[in-house]
Structure 1
Amino acid sequence: MEREGERPCLKRPLIEGGRVERKQVIVEELKKQLWLAGPLICVNLLQFCLQLISVMFVGHLGELSLSGASMATSFASVTGFSMLVGMASALDTLCGQSYGAKEYHMLGIHMQRAMFVLLLVSIPLSVIWANTGPILVAFGQDSEISEVAQLYARYMIPSIFAYGLLQCLVKFLQTQNIVFPMMISSGITTLVHLLMCWVLVFKSGLGVRGAALANSISYWTNVILLALYVKFSSSCVKSWTGFSKEALQNILFFLKLAIPSAVMVCLEMWSFEMMVLLSGLLPNPQLETSVLSVCLNTASTVWMIPFGLSNAVSTRVSNELGAGHPQAARLAVNVVLVLAVTEGILVGAILILIRNIWGYAYSNEVEVVRFVASMMPILAISNFMDGLQSVLSGSVRGCGRQKAGAFINLGSYYLVGIPCALLFAFVLHMGGRGLWLGIICALIVQVLSLLTITLRNNWEEEAKKATERVYNSVVA
């Protein structure tokens, strides 16, 4: 009897020890992700602010200048920046897994290869930007606004080459968990950009052209700062060993991930921009477009938080898979999902609490303020779902499953989201609310699809694939 009574006492310390150890592992993973995500959120916000600051300065030149610069910024995002961000996201997988496998020199090779490809892609994109005006007119936009947009876009052309290089440098450092230098570099660039805009827009007499030129100078400034850090920092000694001809080999190896990555990002970004364009077809288009633009700007700003978490988990997953630690990668996904849910609830609550005053940040028109207030609960729901899809997409990038992500985004936004938006807005006459509800339908399908493939992930198999991918790239 005594022995039977003693059995629980013998087991309890082992069980408690296991629980304590498990808790420590979770806390450690949480610390790693927050350590990564915090600076990355700052980097994303600061980079996002560059174009926002330029447009704000241009806004003081008049309504036509503001409309043209806003149109050019949106056009540049759709036809250039989204493509480059997407293609550079292939480095989440390649550099992250190489770092985890301790094949440090391959990070520099992957980065150089990505830079070479993105510079080539930037050439045709710059031709498109040079013809912004005729393209916008062909899509039915106002000729005067299109003319200003063309002027702005042409002076932005140098920035597209810098932007591609910048994204490669960011991914190169991010996958090595080197994030604070990027935050400092982005902070310096933003401060310089403020001064640059003031001088070039107001003091030099360049006006709209000055704001676009300030963008180009600022992006190149950030590139130079990060390049100098990579060149001279002891943190990059193993991963940057100088320029190599190996980067010009096996370009297809990079494109196999880069193209699905670009499709994955572009399909999502384009659908949001399409909502603003569709709002122009609604009754009272001026009100609907204004409110949808406010909602899109708000959503883009708060999205920087889950986007930072997304980049953090893609780094954690790719590092652990490359190191052959599948269960650690799985834990990273579980932890980030909890973070995303928490962030979504907090930010959603804030959006609802400020709903009656937020519109005043953009307009003094009571009608606009009231419409924005009615949209904020819908925006809170979309932010919650968008946060979940962001971190799940980060997990997909960390595993190297961008092709699956591209198909999911295609189905979610273009087979479900946009048709639902058209139904709600134009058939059920729900206006701008209907357009945004269509986006929420897309996000729900996207989250459920990404969650399904994440739950069904064979993490041991993903670790094997990561090992094969790393050593195939070494042989190349």
Structure 2
Amino acid sequence: MLPNMEEPLVGGKSEKTGGPGESLLVIEVKKQLYLAGPLVVGSLLQNVVQMISVMFVGHLGELDLSSASIATSFAGVTGFSLLAGMSSSLDTLCGQAFGAKQYHLLGIYKQRAILVLTPLSVVVAVIWAYTGQILLFFGQDPEIAMGAGSYIRWMIPALFVYGPLQCHVRFLQTQNIVLPVMLSSGVTALNHILVCWLLVYKLGLGNKGAALANTISYLTNLLILALYIRLSPSCKRTWTGLSMEAFRDILSFLRLAVPSALMVCLEWWSFELLVLFSGFLPNPKLEASVLSISLNTLSLVFRIPSGLGAAISTRVSNELGAGRPEAARLATHVIMVLGLVSSVSVGLAIILVRNLWGYAYSNEKEVVEYIARMMPILAVTFLFDDLQCVLSGIVRGCGFQKIGAYVNLSAYYLVGIPAALYFAFVYHLGGMVLILLMLLYKRMKGSLGAVVKLLPCDHEVMGSSPGNSLLQKCRERLRTIDPKWSDPSLDPAQAGATCTRLPFFIIQKDLS
């Protein structure tokens, strides 16, 4: 039986809402599996679009593969990470609004996010137009730089589709509507294989065709989700049409969106910077190709903890929005166990396919053998990754992105990247040590930092009680936002949870 995602887990009429004899733990496990399963599959299918493009290009030659790899990394650093990061603020805003039954706010927040991302995409498009010259300026191999510049120019239209797509995905996800996201991503992935084949081989566009195929596939996914939101009864409460309210409080929205972007970007950039730096190593074509394939592989399996993180973000934000902090605490305990199981399983799978995986990207024996040596390292780093990703989802659900950004900055850029570059270039240990040192430092520090980030949420929010002085302070803050919160009939636990969740007071007068 599918769980009722809006049924109170605790604090309702009955604490056994899932059926005869079912405990709260079993109910929570069902809810998280219902969310995480489609989210993991959907995240994998969304991520596989660019991976398929790189696979098609890889069979054109080593130079084409290197150019496409560098271009994809540059696109991630300067564009896609920013759009994904800023749209992740909807995890907090839409999730909490849905839990608080302020359904009309979800559509307004989605429109507001798209309004912010569109001009940002214009700025990024200008940067992409000069990618070749930028890479040359920083000393990149001329052939690779020019090839990357050509590839990324054909990918510019994808910018203006990717941002709205991410907003639509999070709009649905925070309502616990996950099956349509998974199905649309599946249709898109299958369609992308056909589109790549037509453009790359049939029409003879080569790597340019693979870049253009990304835009077509992202647009396909966006149109499917937009039609679902417009026509489905499931979104009738949350999508009420275009509203001028979306133009209000843009600056307030940015106060949460910018830390959200930093939290995502600082982690994403650490991956992509390694690929860019690999172009400066001896034999740059081989190093860049292998490192890009390794990081693409890690990015693929990363979709599993990413889906778990999205699920716990939704569960925590929904429960806190409804004023049920103890249910949010239980959800965090369940997700930790699920994360441990997934990390061990995926790590073993990576090791088992290590000698075959390289053939998916290249027919070059040297590339395939190098990738086989990289795979066990990736398996080890994934074990550290799972915990960090799940706890980051809890942070997003609580609205503590600003703290997350500080931790990511210190863990990745003060320790991980400097150590990796020092051993790779000073001791000439090559690309393998880049990924080994960087990712091990990144995962260990990131996981430790995520625990630190969780502490305020765990003690101040999830352990709150109506008589807690913190809740009284939250009620006082909320009165400055809207006089409605002065109503003595308001449940103080709900007021406290809402205030602690929204430290930047994004809701403001929208609650009225």
What is the TM-score of this pair, normalised by structure 2? 0.83
Deviations 1:345-371 (A, max 9, x none): 111222233444444555566665554
- In structure 2, what is the equivalent of residue 211 of structure 1? 210
Within the alignment, does 1:261 sit opposite 2:295 as a pair?
A: no
Contact 2:407 2:449 in 1 (8 A): yes
Q: Superposed, which structure 2 residues align to 1:317-356 within 5 Å?
A: 317-356=316-355
Mapped to 2, the partners of 1:307 and 1:84 lie a distance apart of: 16
- In structure 1, what is the equivalent of residue 508 of structure 2? 472
- In structure 1, what is the equivalent of residue 497 of structure 2? 463
Mapped to 1, the partners of 2:304 and 2:207 lie a distance apart of: 31
Q: Superposed, which structure 2 residues align to 1:83-162 within 5 Å?
A: 83-162=82-161
Contact 1:162 1:219 in 2 (8 A): yes
Mapped to 2, the partners of 1:291 and 1:149 lie a distance apart of: 16
Mapped to 1, the partners of 2:501 and 2:276 lie a distance apart of: 45
Deviations 1:172-208 (A, max 9, x none): 0000000111111112222222222222223334333
- In structure 2, what is the equivalent of residue 76 of structure 1? 75
Residue 68 of structure 1: CA displacement? 2.7
Contact 1:324 1:467 in 2 (8 A): no
Say if 1:400 and 1:233 are closer, same or farther in 2 by CA, change over 3 A. Answer: same
Q: Superposed, which structure 2 residues align to 1:55-66 within 5 Å?
A: 55-66=54-65
Mapped to 2, the partners of 1:225 and 1:50 lie a distance apart of: 16
- In structure 2, what is the equivalent of residue 453 of structure 1? 453
- In structure 2, what is the equivalent of residue 443 of structure 1? 443
Mapped to 2, the partners of 1:218 and 1:287 lie a distance apart of: 29
Which stretches in structure 1 are left out of the alignment for 5+ residues?
A: 1-16
Mapped to 1, the partners of 2:500 and 2:456 lie a distance apart of: 17
Deviations 1:266-292 (A, max 9, x none): 111111122233334445555544442
Q: Superposed, which structure 2 residues align to 1:22-421 within 5 Å?
A: 24-283=23-282, 285-362=284-361, 368-369=367-368, 371-421=370-420
Contact 2:192 2:217 in 1 (8 A): yes
Mapped to 1, the partners of 2:362 and 2:33 lie a distance apart of: 36
- In structure 1, what is the equivalent of residue 13 of structure 2? none
Mapped to 2, the partners of 1:107 and 1:32 lie a distance apart of: 21
Contact 2:73 2:276 in 1 (8 A): no
Say if 1:364 and 1:57 are closer, same or farther in 2 by CA, change over 3 A. Answer: closer
Contact 1:333 1:395 in 2 (8 A): yes
Say if 1:376 and 1:62 are closer, same or farther in 2 by CA, change over 3 A. Answer: closer
Give 3-state SS (helix, strand or coil) of 1:303's partner.
Answer: helix
- Counterpart amino acid of 2:510? V
Say if 1:183 and 1:265 are closer, same or farther in 2 by CA, change over 3 A. Answer: same
Give 3-state SS (helix, strand or coil) of 1:118's partner.
Answer: helix
- Counterpart amino acid of 2:293? V
Contact 1:291 1:371 in 2 (8 A): yes
Richer in helix (by share): 1
- Counterpart amino acid of 2:447? V
Contact 1:340 1:388 in 2 (8 A): yes
- Counterpart amino acid of 2:41? C
Mapped to 2, the partners of 1:196 and 1:365 lie a distance apart of: 25
Which stretches in structure 2 are left out of the alignment for 5+ residues?
A: 1-15, 465-469, 471-495
Deviates more, 1:156-165 or 1:462-471: 462-471
Deviates more, 1:454-463 or 1:392-401: 454-463
- Counterpart amino acid of 1:206? L
Contact 1:97 1:466 in 2 (8 A): no
Say if 1:438 and 1:175 are closer, same or farther in 2 by CA, change over 3 A. Answer: same
Say if 1:206 and 1:286 are closer, same or farther in 2 by CA, change over 3 A. Answer: closer
Deviates more, 1:466-475 or 1:403-412: 466-475
Say if 1:117 and 1:456 are closer, same or farther in 2 by CA, change over 3 A. Answer: closer
Contact 1:424 1:438 in 2 (8 A): no
Give 3-state SS (helix, strand or coil) of 2:155's partner.
Answer: helix
Mapped to 2, the partners of 1:287 and 1:148 lie a distance apart of: 15
Deviates more, 1:235-244 or 1:128-137: 128-137
- Counterpart amino acid of 1:447? S
Contact 2:344 2:383 in 1 (8 A): yes
Contact 1:321 1:466 in 2 (8 A): no
Deviates more, 1:170-179 or 1:354-363: 354-363
Residue 149 of structure 1: CA displacement? 2.4
Say if 1:107 and 1:473 are closer, same or farther in 2 by CA, change over 3 A. Answer: farther
Mapped to 1, the partners of 2:160 and 2:263 lie a distance apart of: 21
Give 3-state SS (helix, strand or coil) of 2:23's partner.
Answer: helix
Deviations 1:306-354 (A, max 9, x none): 0110111111111011010111111111111111111111112222334
User: Percent identity between the aligned chains?
Assistant: 58
- Counterpart amino acid of 2:138? F
Mapped to 1, the partners of 2:372 and 2:304 lie a distance apart of: 22
Mapped to 1, the partners of 2:62 and 2:344 lie a distance apart of: 37
Deviates more, 1:413-422 or 1:165-174: 413-422
Give 3-state SS (helix, strand or coil) of 1:388's partner.
Answer: helix
Deviates more, 1:433-442 or 1:182-191: 433-442
Mapped to 2, the partners of 1:212 and 1:285 lie a distance apart of: 22
The number of residues matched between the two structures is: 458
